[in-house]
Amino acid sequence: MVTRNEVKERMGYIGTHGVAALHRYKYSGVDHSYVAKYVLQPFWTRFVNFFPLWMPPNMITLTGFMFLLTSALLGYIYSPHLDTAPPRWVHFAHGLLLFLYQTFDAVDGKQARRTNSSSPLGELFDHGCDALACAFESMAFGSTAMCGRDTFWFWVISAVPFYGATWEHFFTNTLILPAVNGPTEGLMLIYVAHFFTALVGAEWWPQHFGKSFPFLNWVPFISEIQTYKAVLYLMIAFAVMPTIAFNVSNVYKVVQARKGSMLLALAMLYPFVVLMGGVLVWDYLSASNLMESYPHLVILGTGLAFGFLVGRMILAHLCDEPKGLKTNMCMSLLYLPFAIANALTARLNDGLDGNFAITSFLCRVPLVDEFWWDSIYTLQHLSFMKSRQPWALIASEGRFEVVLSYLDVIRTQIKNNKERSLKNAVIDLASMSGGMKDIDD
């Protein structure tokens, strides 16, 4: 028999203070989106009634995430390098799957309130899946717009506001979604773009912006670049930058009110900057044109690393344990310097004296083939998340406390004669507790 204390010593992920903070935590969020309030909320309120009361909210979240995983897989099958046009039905599938993801992501919280099963676990799992969704939807859109290596930048413009909102939430304790440039409008624009591409074809995106929209051919500079690049620049200027300014402004007000240090607050952005900068340096030094040759691997590996960073920040916020956060986040990025060093060997080999016969063999060839480095990069972050990422506080010291709290919820539901059988409650708990096979009662 394994006791609770022995399990805590074995898993030590959340301290005693963190477990106590979890019990006190209350989610706070404000959505100012007009589209969500007046168009989609009525639909979501009706749609949630299709789910049975015994269905866990996290299962709805996971199902929605699987829609995006399917969409990214379709993009990989029909556009391996994200520079060829898939069949038009694939674009329609991308749009439909993204719409379903948005719907399921919106109703999981309603299901939690409907079944009285809201918990920090749900918030962590929901936002964790959303963080990974940035990568999978970027790959899907990259296949639709034939962005090739520039698909990475579409991941950037989705990841930057997401990280900024998570960072802001860490300080303000309230997740604030803006009125017109929030995730609701962003996802809507993307699946409308997928449906539009199903009608006009993917070839519409690589042509000059002036030809795509003839009435805008008078605009200097932008009319001569490819349409998807023009969209990228416009998104940065009118969506990403204002959102980041909004995040920084809100954090600054809170830090000033608490008489804290804004520099320390900004330091929490450092791991994300290191991640983006490291990948860009790796691509710049790459002899095999990394993002062009292996765009899916680069985005997937970077997206997994991003998911870990977001998960760590959310967990620190839920448990009120910020100490050591930046160090733990940066520890997950230690692989990048080795990948950069491997790419740098190709540059060094390129500089060898041309009189040596070995030069022709070594020239522009890294020490280890970059396909394997990129594969290890992706698998390393997948393994790191699986073994150390507390998506569901199941992998943490707080496992028992979460399970006991959940049992209390089940007991209350049964006592109140809600439509939830004991059998389904046990199945739900088993799916939640996952890796507890080695723990005896």
How would DSSP label each residue in 173-184? SSEEE-SSSSHH
Q: Which residues contact 265 (CB under 8 A, 6 or more apart)?
A: 171, 251, 252, 255
Whole-number Å distance between alpha carbons of 228 and 150: 9
Q: Which of 396, 251, 250 shows the shortest CA–CA distance to 319?
A: 396
What is the CB neighbour count within 10 angstroms for residue 204? Answer: 18
In the chain, the largest separation of any two C-alpha atoms, in whole Å, equals 86
Residue 196 corresponds to which tokens in the numbers above?
């539009």
Structure-token match 């199941």, residue found? 394
What is the CB neighbour count within 10 angstroms for residue 64? Answer: 23
- Tell me whether residue 169 is one of the annotated catalytic residues: no
Q: How far is CA 285 from CA 173, 249, 280, 293, 345, in A?
A: 40, 36, 9, 14, 9
Residue 113 corresponds to which tokens in the numbers above?
């309130």
Whole-number Å distance between alpha carbons of 168 and 166: 5
Query: Quick one: CA dihedral 71, 72, 78, 82, positive or negative?
Result: positive
Is residue 50 within 8 A of residue 200, CB to CB? The reply is no
5 burial type by CB count under 10 A (0-12 exposed, 13-18 middle, 19+ buried): exposed
Is residue 143 within 8 A of residue 194, CB to CB? The reply is no
Whole-number Å distance between alpha carbons of 407 and 426: 9
Whole-number Å distance between alpha carbons of 226 and 392: 42
Could you say which of 81, 91, 94, 127 is catalytic?
A: 127
Q: DSSP secondary-structure letter at 86?
A: P
Identify the bridge partners of residue 177 per DSSP, sorted by sequence position: 31
Residues with catalytic roles? 127
